[in-house]
Amino acid sequence: MAEVGNSDGVGRLGLLASAIARRPLHVAPTEPGEATWTDGNVVYLDAGKDTREQIETLAVQASLLAAGSLDHPIVRALARRPTLARRYLAVEGHRALTALEPLLPPSVRSLIRPDVAAASDSPSASLSAARSDRAIVDPPARFGTIRPQRLLASLRNAEKSRTQEHIARVQGNRVPLELAEEAAADDDTQDPFASPVGGRGAIGRWLAKLLAPVRQLSGGGSPGADAPTHWTRSGRRGKSHPLFSIATTESVDEPTVEKGAEGMKYPEWDVHGRHYRRDWCTVREVEAKAKAAARFPVPDRTGLRRSLTRLGLGIDRYHRQAQGDDIDIDAVIEARIKMLAGSAPDEAVFINSIRRRRDLSVLILLDISGSSAEPAATGKTVHEEQRAASAALMLALHELGARVALYAYHSQGRSAVSVMPVKRFGENPGALVLQRLGGLEPGAYSRLGAAIRHGTALLQDHGGMPRQVLIVLSDGLAYDHGYEPVYGAGDARHALGEARRQGVGCLCLSVGAATDGETLRRVFGSSAHATLPAPEQLSQVLGPLLRSAIRAADVRRRVG
């Protein structure tokens, strides 16, 4: 094979591959006639093909990487099973392209088959479909191929290299681990041409600005702040219809959490160094102050309850029924004894399984950082709209019999992430809860990843139900001291991935905010998410999104 750095041929497509995959990628030629494939760092394609076909095959492989289709657990399941890998690619390729459709060239979008993409909502679902007996048409030639053994070898080498570099850096500098990791994240002395997308070189920084979200940081900020703290916006406010996404799940390494007297210690994902900062954030629970005079409108919950009626229903088994799906052994024995004794036997000898018991616990996490004080398109503030939406969700789910908790959060640096219990699990949503909710005031910043990890821990410790869902209500602006937007978005995505890996369904909602869809995708990643102009539109999208989040969590539990 030719060298990776070959810029005279297919190597020129490296920038396009990196932009689609959202990670640095190189492009190198394969042997003539060989199918396109990737090892996670390099995409190998046929240099003899025309440019259009090269771009299309390249885009498919980069989309698979961006959509989590080639994460370690999936690839491990495909190893040494070429037929399964081919069937998986035939389903997952269309789903991955659909998830990345806004970033793809028009010619690539023509490869998508919506009917195939709709059959799967995650890599795990695509793998299950590939393992089934259903007929699956072979993937188009332009999808290339998956080489699980090469991918696994590349993943192992990358992990080994990162570990060796990290140990060498820490031992060589003889500084504490946290300081070494922080220095690595802040190092600006790298090759300006390294890491073309997402890197810290000159080209990486230029591309980051070029691909930045609609909202940008500017202005001075409060005294003593480490960085600018004022947000400005551009673009049209208040879209006329909801925008929502049900994307894929992704696999991450699970970090550890330590409890301390001063609060809960949580790790944080360093997107620049590609590793966890252990025990980096401290989360403290602070009692929310009840405001007796608090009054705020709660949207009508009739439509919301109707859309959630059959959500999270568990199965109850009823014995001694006249009909059912199983035999009640005790009832059969008693009927036989009565028959032998000369009495008329009871014909109710079945067990009937009926979905009546609610087995769902939900924790609603409300962002009350300073950016939520900005005005919404409706004339109210984003905070008022999201507060009303959280109240409607809490009351509707409680009335349907689910276990519900509502917590608010904001932060002032990594050592001061404050989480306020508005309604704990088992507490009735009475006047006191609404007074606490009405007394919340937006302020400070949003260290979203730490709040998500704490919400996940609360769900698992106190949810008390087999099915658990975390609903995040946020404008999608993850920002704090030392927690700039790119870094914060990466940490939030990983925190949501950790929650899903632990069997917790994740749903992210942005109500009333003007945050664009691309920014939300960067922050919420592959979790189901939606942006709504007003809380009244919750009933239109909430049912399908919650069902998708629960299904994804169920798949994770079965796989785990």
Per-residue 3-state assignment (H helix, E strand, C coil) for 79-108: CCCHHHHHHHHHHHHHHHHHHCHHHCCHHH
How far is 300 from 540, CA to CA, in rounded Å? 13
Is the confidence at residue 530, as pLDDT, over 80?
yes
Mean pLDDT of the chain: 78
How many alpha carbons fall within 13 Å on the CB side of residue 125?
21
For 286-297, what is the mean pLDDT? 80
For 470-495, what is the mean pLDDT? 92
Domain boundaries defined on the chain: 10-153, 243-307+368-559, 313-358
Is the confidence at residue 191, as pLDDT, over 90?
no
Q: Which of 56, 11, 50 is nearest to 29 (CA)?
A: 11
**What does the pLDDT read at residue 358?**
64
For 436-453, what is the mean pLDDT? 94
Q: Count Cβ atoms below 10 Å from residue 14 Cβ, excluding itself.
A: 23
**What does the pLDDT read at residue 176?**
41
**What does the pLDDT read at residue 277?**
93
161 pLDDT band, cuts 50/70/90, is low
How far is 192 from 204, CA to CA, in rounded Å? 8
Residues of the chain with pLDDT > 90, as a percent, come to 34
187 pLDDT band, cuts 50/70/90, is very low
Which phi and psi (to 5°) does residue 247 adopt? -105, -155
239 pLDDT band, cuts 50/70/90, is very low
316 pLDDT band, cuts 50/70/90, is low
- pLDDT greater at residue 339 or residue 392: 392
Which range, of 4-8, 20-24, 139-143, 503-507, averages the lowest pLDDT?
Answer: 4-8
The residue to which tokens 């608090």 are assigned: 294
Is the confidence at residue 64, as pLDDT, over 90?
yes
Residues of the chain with pLDDT > 70, as a percent, come to 76
For 419-434, what is the mean pLDDT? 92
**What does the pLDDT read at residue 228?**
35
Q: What is the 3-state secondary structure (H, E, C) of 369-416?
A: CHHHHCECCCCCEHHHHHHHHHHHHHHHHHHCCCEEEEEEEEECCCCC
**What does the pLDDT read at residue 519?**
83
Q: Name, in order, each residue with C-beta under 8 angstroms of 333's C-beta and a sequence gap of 6 or more.
A: none
**What does the pLDDT read at residue 170?**
38
Burial class (CB in 10 A: 0-12, 13-18, 19+), 362: buried
CATH fold of 243-307+368-559? Rossmann fold (3.40.50)
DSSP label at residue 247 = -
Amino acid identity for residue 333 in this structure: I
CA atoms 58, 62, 63, 68: torsion sign: positive
- pLDDT greater at residue 257 or residue 506: 506
**What does the pLDDT read at residue 200?**
44
Is the confidence at residue 297, as pLDDT, over 50?
yes
**What does the pLDDT read at residue 248?**
44
**What does the pLDDT read at residue 356?**
55
For Cα atoms 139, 142, 146, give the angle at the middle one, nearest 5 degrees: 65
For 516-543, what is the mean pLDDT? 85
pTM, to two decimals: 0.52
Is the confidence at residue 214, as pLDDT, over 60?
no
Is the confidence at residue 422, as pLDDT, over 90?
yes
DSSP label at residue 70 = T
State the helix-helix crossing angle for 123-131 and 82-99, rounded to 10 degrees: 140
Whether the CB-CB separation of 505 and 467 falls below 8 Å is answered with yes
549 pLDDT band, cuts 50/70/90, is confident
**What does the pLDDT read at residue 454?**
96
How far is 20 from 97, CA to CA, in rounded Å? 10
DSSP β-bridge partners for residue 409: 367, 419
Which range, of 216-230, 321-335, 336-350, averages the lowest pLDDT?
Answer: 216-230
For Cα atoms 506, 507, 511, give the angle at the middle one, nearest 5 degrees: 155
Q: Name, in order, each residue with C-beta under 8 angstroms of 6's C-beta and a sequence gap of 6 or more.
A: 28, 29
How far is 237 from 240, CA to CA, in rounded Å? 9
- The kind and range of the H/E element at 364 are strand 360-367
Is the confidence at residue 65, as pLDDT, over 50?
yes
DSSP β-bridge partners for residue 367: 409
Is the confidence at residue 232, as pLDDT, over 60?
no
For 199-207, what is the mean pLDDT? 50
219 pLDDT band, cuts 50/70/90, is very low
